[in-house]
Amino acid sequence: MPTMTLIQAINAALDEEMKRDERVMLLGEDVGKRGGVFLATEGLQQKYGPDRVMDTPLSEAAIIGAAVGLAAHGMRPVAEIQFADYVFPGIDQLFSQAAKLRYRSGGQFSAPMVVRMPTGGGVKGGHHHSQSPEAHFAHTAGLKVIVVSTPYDAKGLLKAAIRNDDPVVFMEPKRLYRAVKEEVPADDFLLPIGKAAVRREGRDITLVSYGGPMVETLKAAEEMVAAGLDPEVIDLRTVMPWDKETVLASVAKTGRLLMISEAPRTASIASEVTATVSEELFDQLLAPPLRVSGFDTPYPLAQDKLYMPTVTRILAAAKRLLDY
């Protein structure tokens, strides 16, 4: 089985899906000869030609909007937004067109498309190369939202997203693009959208995270294990619709929930998960669910490391839960 980085897994998923289905095409800024600024589409234009790997004008509205029309007419477009921070000129296309097309037409038309974007901080990118805007998408009915954290998941979920009949926002933590390599099957496999992965089973506390901070969450879990504790770790993978069943089953067992995310705290995925657990498991909780998150500031440059959920901060919050 080959080992791959996250970016290589994405490239492999795109390649396989384009080979499998002629309707699959890629469009975005610099996706052609350049292979994307992070090289997600490297080599694909040479292989499939400029019509199926299409360099677009520098216009997110054109990229996402054209993907809507391509999809409605029968193609399976995968649009690349160069950074999640730059999706906003395309938001009317994503929210007013893609998300609502099936609903507003009474099911007559739909937009089966994927919008890929590098997301998150930790790369000294300042506030316009570091944001985690997944809550905006999750708050818009009609979109599915995936945030991956491993090469294996990236391949299996991107392939599933391309074959899905709904518009999917596929978010790739840029700081993980080349951070790790793992074994990823070279053949065809799909992972279910909406299903979390239990990364470690345990009895004392449930740590839930997704995307970039999975790294710090797993490190914190290791330190807890070294200290004689037994944490359970869940990677949501899909944040809309998120896997309530898996999270509730875990917290019902441990009685303690710590939700870790680098997105701003207020009105976040972390807020949604902790609120739901409080509503549904109130009488089984041993402590109030807590959040370790990014802050409600624009993403800072100088305080890049301070903004992100750190292992120390995760352990401190876990201690509060365990000592409650």
Partner 1 sequence: MIQEKVRFQPFSSEPIRLIDEQGRWIAPFEHGLPPDRLQRFYRDMLAARLLDEKLVILIRTGKTSFIAPHAGHEAAQVGIAHALRKGHDWLFPYYRDMGLVLALGVPLVEIFGQTLGNAADPAKGRQMPSHPGSKALNVFTVCSAIASHIPPATGAALSMKLRRTGQVAVCTFGDGATSEGDWHAGINFAAVQQAPAVFVCENNRYAISVNISKQTASENIAIKAQAYGMPGYYVDGLDVLASYFVMQEAIERARAGQGPSLVELVVHRFGAHSSADDDSRYRSREELAAERQQDPLLRYQRFLEQQGLWDARWANELRLEISKALEAALQEALQAGEPDPLEMFDDVYAARPWHLEEQRRLVAEELQS
Does 241 sit behind a cis peptide bond, omega within 30 degrees of 0 on the bond before it? Answer: yes
In whole angstroms, what is the distance from residue 153 CA to residue 217 CA? 17
244 binds partner 1 (CB under 8 A): yes
Helix (H) or strand (E) holding 56: none
Q: Least distance to partner 1 from the beta carbon of 4, Å?
A: 30
The single-letter code of the amino acid at 99 is A
Closer residue to partner 1, CB minimum distance, 54 or 257: 54
* Binder of partner 1 out of 107, 228, 283, 302 (CB under 8 A): 107
Q: Least distance to partner 1 from the beta carbon of 52, Å?
A: 8
Identify the DSSP state of 128: G
Q: Least distance to partner 1 from the beta carbon of 208, Å?
A: 17
- Beta-carbon contacts of 283 under 8 Å, excluding residues fewer than 6 positions away, are none
Active-site residue flag, 73: no
89 binds partner 1 (CB under 8 A): yes
Identify the DSSP state of 13: H
Q: Which of 73, 127, 128, 129 is catalytic?
A: 129
Stretch of 126-134, 159-167, 285-293, 316-324 lying at the interface with partner 1 (CB under 8 A): 159-167
In whole angstroms, what is the distance from residue 47 CA to residue 19 CA? 10
* Binder of partner 1 out of 5, 8, 45, 97 (CB under 8 A): 97
59 binds partner 1 (CB under 8 A): yes
Give the torsion through C-alpha atoms of 148, 134, 215, 251, to 10 deg: -90
Using alpha carbons, list the distances in angstroms from residue 279 to 138, 283, 284: 20, 9, 11
CA proximity to 57, closest of 48, 68, 65: 65
Token reading at 16: 């396989």
Please list every residue from 173 through 232 that binds partner 1, using CB under 8 A: 194
In whole angstroms, what is the distance from residue 275 CA to residue 50 CA? 47
Closer residue to partner 1, CB minimum distance, 54 or 285: 54
28 binds partner 1 (CB under 8 A): no
In whole angstroms, what is the distance from residue 155 CA to residue 172 CA? 11
279 binds partner 1 (CB under 8 A): no
Q: Least distance to partner 1 from the beta carbon of 212, Å?
A: 25
Stretch of 8-16, 102-110, 228-236, 311-319 lying at the interface with partner 1 (CB under 8 A): 102-110
171 binds partner 1 (CB under 8 A): no
**Catalytic center residues:** 129
Would you tell me which residues interact with partner 1 (CB under 8 A)? 25, 51-52, 54, 56-57, 59, 61-62, 64-75, 77, 89, 92-93, 96-97, 100-110, 141-142, 144, 164-166, 194, 241, 244-245
